[in-house]
Amino acid sequence: MPLNDDVLTVFGPARAERPLVLDSPHSGRLMPADFDAALTPEDLRDGEDCFIDELFRPAEARGIPLLAAMFPRTYIDANRHAGDIDPDLLDAPWPDLFQPSGKARLGKALIWRTLDDGRPIYARRLGVAEVRRRIDLYHRPYHQMLRALLDDAHARFGFVQHINCHSMNPVSGAMGEGGAGVARADFVLGDRDGTTCAPEFTAFVRERLSALGYEVKVNDPFKGVELVRAYADPAAGRHSLQLEINKRLYMHDTRREPNAHFTVLQAQLIRLLDDIHHQFAPERTDGRNL
Nearest-approach distance from CB 153 to Zn ion, in angstroms: 22
Does 247 help bind Zn ion (rule: CB under 5 A)?
no
**Where does residue 179 fall: left (phi above 0), alpha (psi -120 to 50 degrees), or beta otherwise?**
left
Q: Count how many Cα atoms sit within 13 Å of the Cα of residue 73 in the half-sphere of its side chain.
A: 23
Selected range binding Zn ion among 20-28, 57-65, 95-103, 269-277, rule: CB under 5 A: 20-28
Contact in structure between 121 and 112 (CB atoms under 8 Å): yes
Contact in structure between 263 and 55 (CB atoms under 8 Å): no
Does 154 help bind Zn ion (rule: CB under 5 A)?
no
User: From the list 166, 184, 247, 248, which residue makes contact with Zn ion (rule: CB under 5 A)?
Assistant: 166
Collapsed DSSP state (helix, strand, coil) of residue 206? helix
Selected range binding Zn ion among 96-104, 132-140, 158-166, 226-234, rule: CB under 5 A: 158-166
Nearest-approach distance from CB 286 to Zn ion, in angstroms: 33
Nearest-approach distance from CB 168 to Zn ion, in angstroms: 7
Nearest-approach distance from CB 9 to Zn ion, in angstroms: 17
- Beta bridge pairs of residue 181: none
Selected range binding Zn ion among 116-124, 140-148, 164-172, 272-280, rule: CB under 5 A: 164-172
Provide DSSP, 41-101.
HHHHGGG--TTHHHHHGGGGGGT--EEEE-S-TTT--TTS-TT---GGGBSS---S-----
Alpha-carbon distance of 142 to 25, in angstroms, equals: 8
Overall size of the chain counted in residues = 290
Alpha-carbon distance of 273 to 277, in angstroms, equals: 6
Selected range binding Zn ion among 61-69, 134-142, 166-174, 197-205, rule: CB under 5 A: 166-174
Alpha-carbon distance of 209 to 72, in angstroms, equals: 28
Does 46 help bind Zn ion (rule: CB under 5 A)?
no
Nearest-approach distance from CB 166 to Zn ion, in angstroms: 3
Does 223 help bind Zn ion (rule: CB under 5 A)?
no
Nearest-approach distance from CB 164 to Zn ion, in angstroms: 8
Nearest-approach distance from CB 49 to Zn ion, in angstroms: 4
| Footprint of Zn ion on 47-66 (CB under 5 A) | 49
Does 226 help bind Zn ion (rule: CB under 5 A)?
no
| Footprint of Zn ion on 22-41 (CB under 5 A) | 26
Selected range binding Zn ion among 87-95, 114-122, 159-167, 188-196, rule: CB under 5 A: 159-167
Helix (H) or strand (E) holding 258: none
- Complex with Zn ion: residue 28 or 141, whichever CB lies closer: 28
Alpha-carbon distance of 78 to 124, in angstroms, equals: 22
Binding residues for Zn ion (CB under 5 A): 26, 49, 166
